[in-house]
């Protein structure tokens, strides 16, 4: 069993504007860097075995800021990326709701399996993220591992860890730089 500390990257300008980021490589803003530095100070007493991150720059920069006081290298894993939002990336939520009204209604009714045009489903995100976390648990048995990722990527892990349906993932997206502690792998249902 591994003790996992999941962190959503620091704030970006697109977070502030209400734009879907998905796998667009949006950088941290100054607030996001300050959030990461503040969290690094809060986590200073923790002893992590390793630090892993999504390869997207907003997560990778957050991870480097968090790992620096610990003197740990940062390992990237593309499977920890955010959901691919396809055509929705870069758009404001209100625009998506209007332009893709029928698809948005379908997603609201069945959030786990609806795919944005050119994107991926929450169920697909869950498979790749949980496979990555399972591998980390095998690599670091009994360890404490810090993982910096993204909203939906962390939400699907929360759902799996607490035996909740994946359709509830959108209800469990953490705030920027809010630590989520989980034991991994979760106990079987």
17 classed as catalytic: no
Looking at residue 1, its pLDDT comes to: 92
Looking at residue 188, its pLDDT comes to: 76
10-residue stretch averages of pLDDT, the chain, 189 residues long: 97 97 98 98 96 98 97 98 97 96 94 95 98 97 97 98 96 98 87
Phi, psi of 127 (to 5 degrees): -60, -45
- pTM value is 0.96
Helices (H) and strands (E) in the chain, counts: 7, 5
75 classed as catalytic: no
Query: Three-state DSSP class for 101?
Result: helix
Q: In order of start, what are the domains of the chain with their CATH numbers?
A: 2-184 (3.40.50.1240)
Query: CA-CA distances (angstroms) from residue 96 to 36, 63, 100, 119?
Result: 30, 30, 6, 14
> Cβ distance 177 to 7 under 8 Å?
yes
The catalytic residue among 61, 82, 89, 120 is: 82
Of the candidates 126, 156, 179, 150, the one whose C-alpha atom is nearest the C-alpha of residue 59 is 150
The catalytic residue among 9, 89, 120, 140 is: 9
């Amino acid at each position: 069993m591994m003790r996992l500390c999941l962190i959503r990257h620091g704030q970006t300008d697109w977070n502030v504007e209400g734009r879907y980021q998905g796998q667009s490589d949006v950088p941290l803003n100054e607030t996001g860097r300050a959030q990461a530095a503040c969290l690094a100070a809060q986590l200073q007493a923790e002893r992590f075995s390793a630090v892993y991150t999504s390869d997207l720059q907003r997560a990778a920069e957050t991870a480097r800021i968090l790992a620096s006081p610990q003197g740990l290298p940062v390992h990237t894993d593309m499977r920890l990326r955010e959901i691919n939002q396809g055509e929705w990336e870069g758009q404001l939520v209100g625009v998506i709701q209007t332009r893709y009204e029928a698809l948005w209604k379908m997603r609201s009714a069945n959030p786990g399996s609806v795919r944005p045009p050119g994107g991926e489903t929450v169920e697909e995100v869950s498979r790749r993220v949980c496979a990555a976390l399972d591998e980390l648990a095998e690599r670091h048995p009994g360890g404490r591992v810090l993982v910096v990722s993204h909203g939906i990527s962390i939400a699907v892990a929360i759902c799996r860890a607490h035996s909740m349906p994946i359709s509830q993932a959108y209800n469990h997206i953490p705030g920027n730089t809010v630590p989520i502690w989980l034991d991994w792998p979760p106990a079987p249902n």
